[in-house]
Amino acid sequence: MSNRERRRKLKKFERQSTGENDEIVRMIKVFAIVVLALASFYFIFAIYNGEISFGDKDKDDEEVTIQNIKILAGSTFNRIDSEYYVLFYDFEGDYATYCLTIYNLYNQKENHLKMYVVDLNDAFNKKHVVDSMNLVNVSSANELKVMDSSLIKVKDGKAEFVISGNEELSKYQDTLLK
């Protein structure tokens, strides 16, 4: 093989290899453009939806309050107060408005005991709900069973008395709100 043929083959080989390199460079450029386009769409929509915000952080400086009135049924007897009431009712049930009214009126009284509420519709509290007055049990947190619209007065970690059912709660309402 002569030098001329070798040079031709070398130039042909160089053209093929640069052609492959050019394809790889083009693929990398296309991939980078697609990634940048997707990232820019994400940031545009994140800014539009409020996920990303710039400034205006003063709006979030509202006072934070801790809700400690609503409790789980299992913690009925372990509050730090020595004497308090626990009102059990379904927050979305038929008597929810009535029970909420009793709660609000009671809390407007002067020198009242603290009253906690338990949502019987909550999945954690459903195991404590019974349908019959005969099955009501307030001897301990493990054995706690109440009816919808029940009120328990707890003193020193033990139930002092229980009012179960809507009718009984209506009868006791005047005594509670005095």
pLDDT per residue as tens digits for the range 158-177: 999 999 988 898 889 888 88
Report helix, strand and coil shares of the chain as percent, to nearest 5.
Answer: 50, 15, 35
Q: What whole-number distance in Å separates Cα of residue 173 and Cα of residue 14?
A: 97
Pick left, alpha or beta for residue 83 (phi over 0 → left; psi -120 to 50 → alpha; otherwise beta).
Answer: beta
For residue 175, CA distances in Å to 85, 108, 121, 168, 171 come to 13, 15, 27, 12, 8
Q: What whole-number distance in Å separates Cα of residue 146 and Cα of residue 143?
A: 10
Backbone angles phi, psi at 112, to 5 degrees: -95, 155
As given in the structure block, the two tokens for residue 163 are 């009012």
Provide mean pLDDT across the span 25-39: 94
Question: pLDDT tens digit string along 90-131?
Answer: 999 888 999 999 999 999 998 899 999 999 999 999 899 998
Give the 3-state secondary structure of residue 84.
strand
Length of the chain: 178
Q: What whole-number distance in Å separates Cα of residue 104 and Cα of residue 85?
A: 13
As given in the structure block, the two tokens for residue 96 are 């929810």
As given in the structure block, the two tokens for residue 28 are 């990398």
What is the reported pTM? 0.62
- Local confidence band at 19 (pLDDT 50, 70, 90 cut-offs): low
Q: 88 forms bridges with which residues in the sheet?
A: 118, 150
Q: Which helix (H) or strand (E) holds 164?
A: strand 158-164
Which ranges of 109-165 does DSSP label H, i.e. alpha helix?
Answer: none
End-to-end CA distance of the chain: 118
As given in the structure block, the two tokens for residue 100 are 């909420």
Q: What whole-number distance in Å separates Cα of residue 144 and Cα of residue 136?
A: 8
